[in-house]
Amino acid sequence: MSANQSAAQAAPSILMTVVYLIRHGQASFGKQDYDRLSTVGERQARVTGEHMRHHLPRLDRIFSGGMVRQEHSATIAREALGENAPPLGTIPGFAEYDHVALFKAYLPSFLAESGASVNSLDDLLGDHKLLERALRYVLASWLEGSPNEAAPMLSWSNFKDRTGDALDELLSTCEPDSRVAIFTSGGIITALLDRLLGLSAQTALGLAVSLYNASITQLSCPARHGAGGRLLVGYNNITHLEITGDRNLITFR
C-alpha cells in the first residue's frame, strides 16, 4: 500500500448536508393575485415529490418560505413522498421579495424609458410580453441599486443577507449528513447563489429570470466548515419534469 493510499484511508470523511432549493410550481403570472399555483404548478409539484420519493435515498427535513405558492408546492410534493415524509416547517427568511414594492419603485422610470402607454402595474397585467420586459427592468434596477422615489425598501444587499442568515440558522440545527428540501422562489435561490459565488448584477439577473418552475438547485454544505465550505453541485435541474414527456410542465412564469 502506498503512502498516499494510507493517508487517504486515514483521513476522516467529510460529512455533507445536502440542501435542495426547489422553486415553487407555476404561479399566477399576470393575475391580480400572483401567489397562487396554477393547475400546471400543482402538477409540477406532484411530479417533483414523486421524483424525490423514487430517487432520493432519504429526505430528513422539508421547509417552505410560507408564501401560498411555496407552501402549496411543498404540501403537494410532500403528499407524493408518502407516509414517511418529514413534517413541513416554515422559515419566513425564505419568502420571496415584495414584487409590488419593487414595481412601485421602478415602474415609473420603466414607463418613461419604454414609452409604453400604460399607467400602472394593473395595466401591465393584460400584456404578458410588456410585463416580462418591465419585470426584467425592475429587477435589474433593484440589483444595481438604482435610485428611486419610493419609500425606503429592502435593498438587494440586505435581501441577500436575510436569505443567507436564514440558511445559516437552518444549517446550524441540522445533523451533519442531513438532506433538506426548501420550497422557495427564484429571488431566494438567486440571492443564495450570489452570496456563494459573488455574482455581478447582470449575471444575477440572468439567473433570476431563467429559473424554471419546480427546478432543483443543489448545495453541498460540509459540516464544521461554515459558509466558506459550501458548494454548488446542481443548478436549475428539471430532468424530473422533462422525462414525463409533457412540454406543458416546462415553464418559467
Mean pLDDT by 10 residues, the chain (253 residues): 45 76 88 83 98 92 96 97 94 94 90 79 78 92 90 90 95 91 98 95 95 97 70 96 97 92
Grid coordinates representing 245 are 414527456
Answer yes or no: do 80 and 31 share one domain: yes
Question: Is 195 domain-assigned?
Answer: yes
Q: For the domain that residue 167 is a member of, what is the CATH number?
A: 3.40.50.1240
Residue 6 lies in a domain: no
Q: Which of 97, 37, 98, 99 is nearest to 73 (CA)?
A: 37
- Is residue 75 domain-resident? yes
Alpha helices in 85-144 (DSSP H): 99-114, 121-124, 128-144
Give the domain-ending residue among 153, 187, 222. 153
Domain of residue 50 covers 15-96+159-249
Work out the number of other CB atoms within 10 angstroms of the CB of residue 33.
8
Q: Are residues 66 and 149 in the same domain?
A: no
Same domain for 206 and 245?
yes
pTM: 0.88
76 and 183 housed in the same domain: yes
Question: How far apart, in whole angstroms, are the C-alpha atoms of residue 156 and residue 200?
Answer: 12
Instruction: Give the separation between CA 64 and CA 198, rounded to whole angstroms.
Output: 25
Give the per-residue pLDDT at 10: 42
Domain boundary among 115, 137, 153: 153
Q: Which helix (H) or strand (E) holds 179?
A: strand 179-184
186 & 107 share domain: no
Amino acid at 30: G
Q: For position 205, what pLDDT does the model report?
A: 95
Structural domain tally of the chain? 2
Residue 15 to residue 94: CA distance in whole angstroms:
25
Q: How far apart are CA 10 and CA 195, in angstroms?
A: 34
24/78 same-domain check: yes
Pair (102, 88) in one structural domain? no
Are 126 and 81 in the same domain? no
Give the pLDDT score at 11.
40
The confidence score (pLDDT) of residue 228 equals 66
Do residue 111 and residue 49 come from a single domain?
no
Q: Side chain identity at 100, as an amino acid letter? A: V
Residue 129 is assigned to a structural domain of this protein: yes
Handedness of CA 89, 92, 97, 99 (dihedral sign): positive
